Amino acid sequence: MLREEGIAAYLAPSTDVGPYTRTQFLPSPPTDRLFVDRARRADARTLVDTHADEHLPAAPTPRRRRTDRAEDDAATDAEFARIVAAWEAEEAATGPTDLPVEPPADASAPPPVTPPVVEQPRDDPPPPPAEVPVLDRPDEHFEPPAPPPLPVLAPASLYALLLILAGAVCIVTPGTLGLSLDVGIVIGVLAVVGGVAVLVSRMRDRSDDDGDGAVV
């Protein structure tokens, strides 16, 4: 358009510059700048203003209003109601299928006689005796063995204990036996040593005899 009028002009995309990095980038949405001859800038502005409306996009098609949509829904419902009414009328014209009807029973007729059922004897074996549940069985009574008898002291061991007891009395209270202190201590020590010696001698194992068993 400007070329036909003999006006020198060109378009250049407009760019923005970042404040920190000084990077150039296109704005959003992108736009172009028109550069024309300075001497004929007024003529170029007049031409652009006159023919700018020719390049505008076509106006969008207006959307259907809600009333039109409601009318379409009403028409659809009416058509569906008409189809249902026609189907019901067709069903009413044909009628239900005739079914066989049983004749009514005669009240004076006697009721049918049912023959008695005779049970035949069965040759089944008798049922086995019921087993006693495990929980109901009597518990087995446990009788612990009799305790072993208490050991009986041998006469020699008994005499050794009595000798130790007498020696202790002579050492502690020699006056009860009519002895002086020195004599009581000597006799008491000898009695205690003799009793202990007898007990120790009886604790030693005895030699095995000719039998097969060992002395325990």
Distance CA 192, CA 186 (A): 10
Joined together, the tokens standing for residue 171 give 């050492």
Low-confidence ranges of the chain (pLDDT < 70): 1-2, 10-11, 16-20, 22, 24-30, 52-67, 95-113, 115-127, 129-140, 204-216
pLDDT value at residue 190:
92
Distance CA 178, CA 49 (A): 161
pLDDT value at residue 208:
56
pLDDT value at residue 83:
92
pTM for the complete prediction?
0.29
Distance CA 170, CA 190 (A): 10
Number of Cβ within a 10 Å radius of residue 47 = 18
Contact 193, 168 (CB under 8 A): no
Domain boundaries along the sequence of the chain? 9-55, 155-202
Closest CA to 199 of 163, 169, 170, 167: 163
Tell me the β-bridge partners of 172. Answer: none
